[in-house]
Structure 1
């Protein structure tokens, strides 16, 4: 193993870039699936009722999140036992296989029921690998951060996701400019997945050069699976509190990014191009505000930011959506989504680092990943839940109410967590 002194010459920029590169692929794959949910529904889940077809496609999107807690436990234990570097390379490998399943499998018209089954298996594999990806990246960034800059460093875990959102949306805008809508539905939607496959070798090359964190290398004891399981049970309350903290993040993120193209096209009846341009702008907005929030949380603490922006979410998300659906337009969609982006990014910039600080050092990756993965069982189904809520209530603004409920979860979890002496001092004590 490399000595600490041998690792010092690497700049912080290079270290951050290396670790978040794979996180880009994880979010890129999830994003393009949701962007092209209508086309995927047409290809793999044909039905007489368009609503049923779309709901099936979005449910398969959500099914990937069911595997996240399992991946968090199995792969998280591997990371806490064998190191941050090895775990991040393994998660990238599994993600790449899942991407290929969606990119290359023929449609239902060609191979019948086998097609949606392979797509489902690909999504489940992606979910399994993603169960530890975010936790592994966040913990790595927290452990390499200089004193007083942990929030800023951890914010780039989410920052890399926004780069994926921007890239996928820009690619979608380009496809809509050069291909007719019928071609995008029939085969053009596969292009972003194929590009994802082409990116994989480059990402492997980057991650192979990752260096183990000093904090992990200096630890004398690395727990086995049995010890990690006991610790998870002993810290079940802590993990559930962390889950409540993350619900706000996952719900708001998937609402303003992956669901926006479907919402804009199918609910507001705006053009696909308009919806993708708005999503691109949301990604840029998130990328700007996330590191700002992380850096400010290093100065004033995590709790004030978490409480302020959950309160604003509870008070404004549904009214903002009501204003949008009252007179749908590109301008209103952009305005509302950018406001929701501010709520998400400021909250998340403080939340990710708060969650790393919450977990005991010896099971930090597993604990973080479990809390995050359990939350995605709620937030990850946001596109499907939003589609269902609009269908059963007739209220096109219902997704805003769903985001408000998530904000309430975040506020309650914040109050519970920061009332605990353990949450306030656990990270530094570890």
Structure 2
């Protein structure tokens, strides 16, 4: 959006200099404007000074603007006007047009084949990018995997050996002026080559585990910035998905028994942009709205938010949930694919996801909650949890604590507005670099009792 400097003459005894956009300041006859370019905001600032005698007045004018991506634009000129008593000269106008804002490019995944793939099978990736600005072109491509990290900077490439598991493939493109596109994500399933286990003649029956039943309604806790928390009772459950669950991936196993030893409070909703701004003073989200979930925040950003929230509340009890605590709260006493049952046909009642979101986030709490009173555990935005990424649950803690490790990635849960129904399953898990920020990734927090 271009910005203009315009000089206009008002009453015979004064002249005015006005700008569209930004704020103004002056020193003598030097008139300066500075501000930020925002396509949805227009301000009119006028600087007026008295003409004390009949003469031609010369003064410099300068405008400096910074767009929302930090790029500076500057223009300047010398303006003159002749004042002749009560008869003004024709209105003089100087217009200096600043360069338009650089629009973001768009990334497109053309194909990922085969999908699903077998371990050690070559997978071919193809994409392209478009830029809406005349003269710009796509200068760089970047492919990443939630499991294997950086993959390639080529439009088309093949990889012969991806790690078995549920990959989320991430594509971004950069234009010739250095601006990156939003992330595009696709799911890729890589099946491990199964090695038959050695048969053991053991007829001892496995113990029968009863999931923790739905607790009775309890009082909601609300903190000083309006964040609501639901009490979650201690209990036990089976974490992960059984081998016969529809759409499951190998990284969701083995199913293992977890005993949540301490009750806690879980955020009733995903953290909103209004709540983030109350603590951090900014709003990095791509989609804007007070009641929309905060997104485009990294795992590291989230920990800074939690640190400041604890300081504001005078406590040390706020934190991210562990992956086990998150799944326990999501399942709400169930062992089905979703907290409401096995059928995807009801998912639209509980979640914003790829089929019903309209390619955007939605205000928290608009869909049905699970039976423990938690909203948007399925869909809307992915949610960071505390744990490091592990490709399987072998060796996972049995007490519900966070599973830390040497891996570079952190776990995310719940699916999002741009994911498919399978990503919203209670057991589905993925991961991201803790520095990653994108418009489908947010969080909710836990408060210890």
- Structure with bigger strand share is 2
Task: Verify same fold: TM over 0.5.
Answer: no
- Structure with bigger helix share is 1
Q: Which has the larger radius of gyration?
A: 2
Higher relative contact order (CA 8 A, sep 6+): 1
Q: If the length of structure 1 is used for normalisation, what is the TM-score?
A: 0.23
